[in-house]
Amino acid sequence: MAETSPPIPENRSRSTAIMLQFDQSRFLPIDDLVKKKNASKTSISVVIPTLNEAATIGEIVLSAKKSLMEDALLVDEIIVMDSRSTDSTMEIARDAGARALSIDEIAYFPEITTGKGIAIWKSLFAARGDIIVCIDADIVDFKTHFIYGLIGPFLENETTIFAKAYYDRPLTIHDKTFENYGGRVTEILVRPMLSAFVPELAKIFQPLSGEYAFRRGPLEKVPFSSGYGVEIGLIFDIYKKYGLETFAQVNMGTRRHRNRPVQELGIMAFGILQTLFRKLENTGALRLAGPLLDSMISQGPNGPKQTVVREFELPPKALFSETLLKTQEGQP
């Protein structure tokens, strides 16, 4: 369905920007959301980027499909966009009722191989919704409010472009749980950087959360970072282009997911850091003396270990000519 929201002026004044705040419970009963959806003739897609998430993807898709597509006609489609999983993620997703696609099937782009950002960018070419809801595939306590709570702000406010979830994040290590110790990359890297350079954006409680939603039309006009920097990159570009008043935050309570070891978080943080520096330089908040390096050195079992991490910037979909799209079969 074509984008139906009114045009939103760019480069609004930031001095009086107010970001909308909600609790997910505000959007109950779901039948009220369905009525608003139908009245506005809005279509809604759910996109789940995956990489080896066989342990959790089935329950997420089954729950969302039954509650939000069958019991209530709120969501029009569920798409799993897979980044070359080597387990049974795609088979489980299809069996649960999702439209499971590989990143290799959609929008050929030569410089990029795989990454979370490219999976979400490619979903713009596959999803049909006016509103696209993204959720992570590793949630172990999934509840459908992670989806309908993000849909609500758009159906109540036609100027909302981007809605972000926030929550309490316990950290589970082996058999021990530490309350409010999750979100380590956010609290140690991203929030200090935002507070130092762009304090307006530090008002976003969970800038790296994988649960967020956006209007297709405006997001087709901004670039996407190719990897784990996709969320912070979108926040910068939407803020710059449309203003903080087009954001909404929704309190989702508590979220539990697969906690990663520190070594994996370090690699993730290195990619996010590349996107952060690029966006800060683009806004004029800092100036780099030279190009960022893409090789991270960490401690390995036999000495220093080098890992290459490259965060590319994908062009806005609106600028990506349909004539250049190729499936894997159509590549020269």
Q: Measured in whole angstroms, how far is the alpha carbon of residue 142 from the centre of its chain? A: 16
Q: What is the pLDDT of residue 36?
A: 98
> How far apart, in whole angstroms, are the C-alpha atoms of residue 263 and residue 308?
14
| Of 15-29, 58-72, 256-270, minimum mean pLDDT range | 256-270
CB 253 within 8 A of CB 168: yes
> How far apart, in whole angstroms, are the C-alpha atoms of residue 134 and residue 148?
11
| Of 1-15, 58-72, 95-109, 289-303, minimum mean pLDDT range | 1-15
pLDDT digits (tens, 9 = 90+) for 196-212: 999 999 999 999 999 99
Residue 320 within any structural domain of the chain: no
Residues sharing a CB contact under 8 Å with residue 116, sequence separation 6 or more, in sequence order: 49, 51, 83, 227, 228, 230
CB 119 within 8 A of CB 49: yes
Residue 32 within any structural domain of the chain: yes
Residue 275 within any structural domain of the chain: no
Q: What is the mean pLDDT of residues 284-309?
A: 86
Residue 98 within any structural domain of the chain: yes
Q: What is the mean pLDDT of residues 295-320?
A: 86
Residue 306 within any structural domain of the chain: no
Confidence category of residue 284, pLDDT binned at 50, 70, 90:
confident
Residue 326 within any structural domain of the chain: no
| CATH label of the domain that carries residue 192 | 3.90.550.10
Residue 281 within any structural domain of the chain: no
Q: What is the pLDDT of residue 13?
A: 42
CB 272 within 8 A of CB 185: yes
> How far apart, in whole angstroms, are the C-alpha atoms of residue 220 and residue 222?
6
Indicate the SS3 state at residue 167.
Answer: strand
Backbone angles phi, psi at 15, to 5 degrees: -65, -30
Q: What is the pLDDT of residue 149?
A: 98
Number of compact structural domains in the chain: 1
pLDDT digits (tens, 9 = 90+) for 7-44: 444 444 444 568 999 999 999 999 999 999 999 999 99
Map tokens 């530090």 to a residue. 202
Residue 246 within any structural domain of the chain: yes
Q: Is the peptide bond before 29 cis (omega within 30 degrees of 0)?
A: yes
Residue range(s) defining the domain that contains residue 103 = 20-260
CB 48 within 8 A of CB 135: yes
